[in-house]
Amino acid sequence: MRIRTKRIRINDYLDLYQYAKEIGDLDWQQDILSKLQNRDVLVKEQVEALLTAQLWGKFDEINTKLLEIYGKMNNTLISYEFDRLQDQVWELKQERVNVSQKLRGIE
């Protein structure tokens, strides 16, 4: 649905450009052209912001899971269960590092 909205905006800008041309408003035409030319940059920024928010959400989710596992580890006396939980911690930490690297790549 967002893509359709963006198309409508572009069509609206093109209609406005045509109208500005008809009434001879060169400044308005130039402003509309500038906005159309910069739309790719704006779309890229919006995509990066959305991706960053998703990655931070994933980072928080991993931290929550880690806290849950650490709580279980504190209450576990069975060695094989403790080892299984440690393996889960290691996997989550690796996943968190991957998410952190992706965040650094965006920012």
- Span 2-40, pLDDT tens digits: 444 455 577 888 889 899 999 999 999 999 888 888 877
Choose among 6, 91, 11, 104: nearest CA to 55.
104
Query: Quick one: tokens of 92?
Result: 């989550």
- Span 36-94, pLDDT tens digits: 888 777 778 878 888 999 999 999 999 999 999 999 999 988 999 999 999 999 999 99
SS3 1: coil
Total domain count, the chain:
1
- Cα-atom radius of gyration of the chain, to the nearest Å? 25
Query: Quick one: tokens of 66?
Result: 């880690």
CA 90 to chain CA centroid, Å, is 25
Choose among 63, 12, 13, 51: nearest CA to 33.
13
Domain range for 29 is: 2-106
